[in-house]
A and B are shown apart, each in its own frame.
Chain A
């Protein structure tokens, strides 16, 4: 039965949310021009409308989640992104897997932020919330899913234009499947499932963080436009600044979470790939950081107002532009991410252009009236250096957005009838890195030196004094690092750029640490800048080492070619490891121990060969008693539930002279979406060891067995199976087979052969011998871990012996790649410090804002 109610409720909520946001826009707009008494009424009216909008948005969220959670696969959204077996936390990821859901997340955050603004800032409420509510109307229109049309009796006319894409669309409305013609009430039993790449805990928390970052950029933008609109050209900066800092912090954390997810889950071996999708969020963040710097500089001296206005507007416009880039499908030819084109490109473009023109109009209208000084800025002033810094950040953003926009340039040329066939650079990483490296060097130098100007008026001699110690210290440390790395023959710092980045990064670190030391004593509340800059310096150094000097250590030094069919680099950079056969890799001895699964309620991993997977792949039966640290967890024959039944792990043990650890790189096999290999990482203080499996034997391929050897054994005899010692331990009469009871007339026994694997691992072979209707049936036992198949051929009761047939095949193997990432923790530590720095700065700026607000300074 199709559940219409929840979809209809959701759809009505979307319409209510849309209308209410328009009403709120109108109400807030009116309040700006109304006199004192009418203003109060308009505000009250608009506020109510905004709250109605908020409640409706929460209604949409609840309805959509209900559909996913209850597995209503008659709805397209649940069918496309979920499946009946998906656990609750991934149902949450499903919620924002589709474009509609992620728009909804964004809308939801705006509701939360709008409510905060309403309740913290009465003076700015009218104009700021006008912008807010208008943006909401645009965003909600993206999930409206309305086809404007007219119905006149029998004649129905519907245009081709569709406004938005509703998440509440039924499967039969979206798919033209023949089944719906014969049976419109058909409901698929299961959905297509969540992309295995997204079945990761980061995908539960990364999108909400990133979208909170996206959502918060509207606040400085709204304050800025409101200021330009109502003539408070300077006053908007104070309330906007703490929010701009908050936004930069959240957006930055969101970006880093995405990078970390890529590092942990994808197998390209890094955390940043300069893919257009990554660039599209990095660019607005850079511009926002530039804006924060000019805003702070303006608060001190009023010269940077115009650049603050431009940069704050640019940040929001870049957010809209990146939304356009990633969601319109225009990047389809240039990004490895596959986009689903919802046909919203026109709507997204209108959204982008509307706010671009609105802000340009408001800014140009009053541009002449904006205060500025014609005085030449001194090269010894902080304003000058901050301006240089902001310019560098903007150029950095420019350098990224130009190549990322190549598909847009093509589209524009084609719009005017031309032909353009430019494609993005082939090696994106190399292309962007060679530019961004130099920008990073300049930034590191500026962020070190700029801090000296920050704290006091300074002239040439004073500057020299202040900089002397940090510079000398930097050169000493840099020299030492280079010496040590030469001595250790690391091969680092061969290129000039890398050498300079090392020195500049260290300089920024030392200089900011010096500043921090003096500030923390006198006024710890003001130390945010120094802490954040220390963090940035550490991040730059961490990136230099972990990306610049990441090293493949799984080089093939055996002289063997794994396969002629492999490309050269696979043969060169990867190791083939047979199960039980140790292989040397640098200082480690690697031992592949077999496939592992995760079982619900079992700590650690379970050997796949101890389980018999049932036709429903979520469940398996234990083939023997299963212990963990001598505690019995499951008994033979117990049915167990597999956690993440699509996941198989490869246990690889690393042993060196002074060290021992085990890694579990993973493969996720999803029928409808293909397999995904994910790495496992051994995290050390100074380096990460990153291992992922490149390939392994196809589990569905037919196995080629050797000719059968037969042996005659008595109970307790020892034999060799594929070079492993095995003991024929017992023969047991059985009364059921694969869980089904046997006929009373059947006679069946199973032999138990215990095979001793490497590292004390025991494998059990249990071939079965069955007599039914005087016919003999033999069910061989395959032991994957020792690549053997054992059959109980005959039983000779008179001699007391049993004849076994033994067949063997090639031992299991994996081909793996291992990469060392030095000092990657410095990057994460830097990220952490940047966040701390932001928190200190937000606290300071927000306190300032509250103090001034309570004095009533805002409202005069």
Chain B
């Protein structure tokens, strides 16, 4: 059974390496404060921050600014510790962005602004979807 033992050991070794590599390359979810601390300490690894768009009392999104070139935009995001932060995204607004109930930004701090490389959104479940306009028809 020698060969099968060797094979078994190789398989286990590869599997362990896979797990270690996953752990090593994985990013992490942090809040804005931790992200800022990381950036201040010279760590420019990109991280994930989970939060939601800032909304006013009526529930409409506030703080969206479109770049003059239409190529970028920025928005205000509130993380899970209720810290508010301006996030700059150097691309056009993703589909359904304003409808999202939760956003995840992937990126890092550049000075005082959080520069997002990627935006992931969780859209509301269909039973809480946005309401329809009453004026839409008869």
Contacts and interface: CB of A to CB of B under 8 A. Distances in A.
B47 interface: yes
Question: Which of A188, A332, A431 has most B Cβ within 10 Å?
Answer: A332
A627 interface: no
Interface residues of A, number: 65
B18 to A, nearest CB: 5
A565 B68 contact: yes
Contacts of B68: 563, 565
Nearest to B102: A332
B122 A176 contact: no
Contacts of B127: 174, 343
A422 B26 contact: yes
B84 to A, nearest CB: 20
Contacts of A398: 15, 18
Contact of A333 (B29, B67, B138): B29
B123 A339 contact: yes
Given A333-B29, A423-B27, A435-B18, A565 B72 contact: yes
A570 B97 CA distance: 22
A341 B7 CA distance: 42
A187 B137 contact: yes
Nearest to A176: B131
Contacts of A387: 7
Given A402-B22, A425-B26, A177 B15 contact: no
A421 B45 CA distance: 15
A174 B92 CA distance: 31
Nearest to A77: B126
B129 interface: yes
A80 interface: yes
A675 B71 contact: no
A76 interface: yes
A582 interface: no
A567 B72 contact: yes
B9 interface: no
Nearest to B14: A395
B129 A174 contact: yes
Nearest to B135: A179
Contacts of B100: 338
A778 interface: no
Given A188-B132, A421-B29, A336 B18 contact: no
A426 B69 contact: no
Given A175-B131, A338-B122, A423 B48 contact: yes
Nearest to B8: A391
B78 interface: no
A146 to B, nearest CB: 15
Interface string A412-429: 000000000111111000
Interface in B105-138: 106, 117-118, 120-123, 125-127, 129, 131-132, 134, 136-138
A338 B96 contact: yes
A395 B25 contact: no
Nearest to B122: A332
A188 B130 CA distance: 14
Given A395-B11, A426-B27, A674-B94, A339 B136 contact: no
Contacts of B70: 695, 698
Given A338-B123, A395-B18, A426 B71 contact: no
A744 interface: no
Contact of A189 (B7, B21, B137): B137
A157 interface: no
B19 interface: yes
B28 interface: yes
A674 B69 contact: no
Contacts of B25: 403, 425, 431
Given A190-B136, A673-B95, A674-B94, A423 B126 contact: no
Given A423-B26, A565-B68, A676-B95, A76 B7 contact: no
B94 A402 contact: no
A91 to B, nearest CB: 20
Given A189-B136, A406-B26, A425-B25, A340 B94 contact: no
B18 A565 contact: no
Interface string A702-721: 00000000000000000000
A421 B34 CA distance: 13
A639 to B, nearest CB: 25
Question: Which of A388, A423, A673 has most B Cβ within 10 Å?
Answer: A423
B3 A377 contact: yes
A845 to B, nearest CB: 28
B26 A424 contact: yes
A815 B92 CA distance: 13
B94 to A, nearest CB: 7
A393 to B, nearest CB: 12
Contacts of B3: 376-377, 379, 384
Nearest to A388: B7
B110 to A, nearest CB: 11
Contact of A336 (B15, B47, B120): B120
Interface in B33-70: 45-48, 50, 67-70
A421 B136 contact: no
A195 B95 CA distance: 9
Contact of B7 (A171, A391, A406): A391
Given A333-B104, A423-B106, 5 more contacts: A174-B127, A343-B125, A395-B18, A403-B22, A566-B71
21 contacts: A80-B129, A175-B129, A175-B131, A177-B132, A333-B48, A334-B120, A340-B125, A340-B126, A342-B126, A343-B125, A384-B3, A391-B7, A395-B11, A402-B19, A403-B26, A565-B67, A566-B71, A567-B72, A567-B90, A674-B95, A815-B71
List of 3 A-B pairs having minimum Cβ-Cβ separation, nearest first = A332-B122, A189-B137, A423-B48
